Amino acid sequence: MTGIPREIGSGFFALHFSEKMFEGQMDPLLMVDHFVMTAPTFDPHLHAGISAVTAIFEDSKGAFLNRDTLGHNIALKPGDLYWLAAASGAVHEEKPEEDARTHALQIFVDLPERLKKEPACALHVEARNMPVIETQEFRVRVVLGRSGETAGAQGTPEEMTMLDGFLQGGGEFSHLLPQGRGAWIYAVSGTLTLHVAGESRDLVAGTATTVAAGPETEILIQAGGETHFVLLAARPIHGTPVKPDPQMVPSADVRRLPDVVPII
């Protein structure tokens, strides 16, 4: 599937993917926006019943300011990840600092029913703490979860693996998808070919595909040229999706947002 262009004002452009586009095969993902933001775009807003995840790419410039009603006021740096498990409800605001350019994925992840009414919580993973798998052919950051023997951050509401990878032309990378996990794979730039269970599929920049949950499966990614990809893998929830709305009207809790501290 090809991302749907989405532009808001002069400071936000995204390619948008929704679970409807994949007929539920993104589960537990509800929505992914591949965006560039250069100016404040969204007012403080409420999330509930889902996780709102910001995965910042390393080529971003400047800080991405995040504050929420959990009391966090963080200047996210290039390569960082911030996972807000809104659950029973949390208000947050994200915006680039002045003169910054944030290149990132905004990912909305469904929560199972047993977690939707729990208190909100958050996980901040700094880029410097993300392990890297690297050869002459590829460089892959293990942002969350595990790939092979390399383990990244844990602590998300449900187990999830996120890989942020770069391939040289002609290079290839293999990831073993555990039993019962599905995957969503996105070509950020370049072109790649996926080989899964005897089938092949080509992806160009701005397109994504899914791998259904089933038995343990090898995903082989081959690059046609210099390529940047993201792989998200998790166990499907098969619940009733909660439609996320990043422009939802904030609740009175917005008054609990901490003041943003200038970045020095």
Please tell me the distance from the alpha carbon of residue 112 to that of residue 102, in angstroms, as a whole number.
Answer: 30
- Predicted pLDDT of residue 255: 42
Which CATH homologous superfamily contains domain 130-238?
A: Jelly Rolls (2.60.120.10)
Q: For the whole model, what pTM was predicted? A: 0.90
SS3 readout for 139-174: EEEEEECEECCEECECCCCCCEEEEEEEECCCCEEE
Q: Are 24 and 80 a contacting pair, CB within 8 Å?
A: no
Q: What are the sequence ranges of the domains in the chain?
A: 1-127, 130-238
- Predicted pLDDT of residue 239: 53
CATH topology agreement for domains 1-127 and 130-238: yes
Instruction: Specify the pairing of strand 217-223 against strand 64-68.
Output: unpaired
pLDDT in tens, the chain (264 residues): 999 999 998 999 999 999 999 998 999 999 999 999 999 988 899 999 999 999 999 999 999 999 999 999 999 999 999 999 999 999 999 999 999 999 999 999 999 999 999 999 999 999 999 999 999 999 999 999 999 999 999 999 999 999 999 999 999 999 999 999 999 999 999 999 999 999 999 999 999 999 999 999 999 999 989 999 999 999 999 854 445 444 433 333 444 555 443 332
Structural class in CATH, domain 1-127: mainly beta
C-alpha 117 chain-centroid distance = 23
- Rg over alpha carbons for the chain, rounded to the nearest Å, is 18
Please tell me the distance from the alpha carbon of residue 183 to that of residue 232, in angstroms, as a whole number.
Answer: 6
- Predicted pLDDT of residue 238: 82
Burial tier of 150 (Cβ tally within 10 Å: 0-12, 13-18, 19+): middle
In Å, how far are 50, 53, 62, 165 from 57, measured between CA atoms?
A: 22, 13, 12, 11
- Predicted pLDDT of residue 24: 86
Order of strands, sheet of 172-177, starting from the edge strand that comes earlier in the sequence:
172-177, 217-223, 191-196, 199-204
Please tell me the distance from the alpha carbon of residue 159 to that of residue 118, in angstroms, as a whole number.
Answer: 17
- Predicted pLDDT of residue 260: 40
